[in-house]
Structure 1
């Protein structure tokens, strides 16, 4: 799917919301999301996780948890 189409869909959804602010977050500041996105791009089917983090980002989550502790 074209990323422009996805972005257009997001902007259309946000148009109906009043108190929404979008901002850029550098990849290094959000490694867990970046890892999950890379994983999702390789998947051919929907994936759902309940309670546990996906294996592809468990190490990143553990590292971030020690920094925040």
Structure 2
């Protein structure tokens, strides 16, 4: 999975590339990425949290709540509990191209032997896209 955490001004603060060593459906993998990103933002004190996703079906499941008895419902329950505990947190839809940095980090994660996180810096594979959004 690929994660990008930005501050309230949109400046990149933390990026991460992490392999999931399990066989999840793409939808469950997306929700697990939500959860890991939320936990990382909480750990870094970056609150409130706005989760941006291009997975419209997953966003709708999180917003509506999903039956806990379903496979994906267990993870969505954890996501909802975290977001509901932080005032002002929400999940919003963004086009895939607006989430290009996270998508590029996801591709990078596939070749990693261990998880990688960068704080207030980022790997070269996403530098161009970040600088295009927020030139120095």
**TM norm structure 2:** 0.38
Larger RCO: 1 or 2 (CA < 8 Å, sep 6+): 2
Q: Give the number of aligned pairs.
A: 66
Higher Cα Rg: structure 1 or 2?
Answer: 1
> Do structure 1's residue 32 and structure 2's residue 101 form an aligned pair?
yes
1:21-60 alignment to 2 at 5 Å?
21-40=90-109, 42=110, 43-60=112-129
Following superposition, the deviation at residue 54 of structure 1 comes to: 0.9
- The structure with the greater share of residues assigned to strand is 2
The two structures, once aligned, show a CA RMSD in angstroms of 2.6
Partners of 1:23 and 1:11 lie apart in 2 by 14
What does the per-residue CA deviation read over 1:7-62, in whole Å, with 9 as the maximum and x for residues that have no partner?
Answer: 5232232132232121111111222222123323x133121224432122012123
Partners of 2:120 and 2:88 lie apart in 1 by 29
Q: Which runs of 5+ in 1 are unaligned?
A: none
Q: Which runs of 5+ in 2 are unaligned?
A: 1-21, 33-74
Task: Specify the SS of the correspondent of 2:91.
Answer: coil
Task: Specify the SS of the correspondent of 2:86.
Answer: coil
Partners of 1:37 and 1:54 lie apart in 2 by 12
- The structure with the greater share of residues assigned to helix is 1
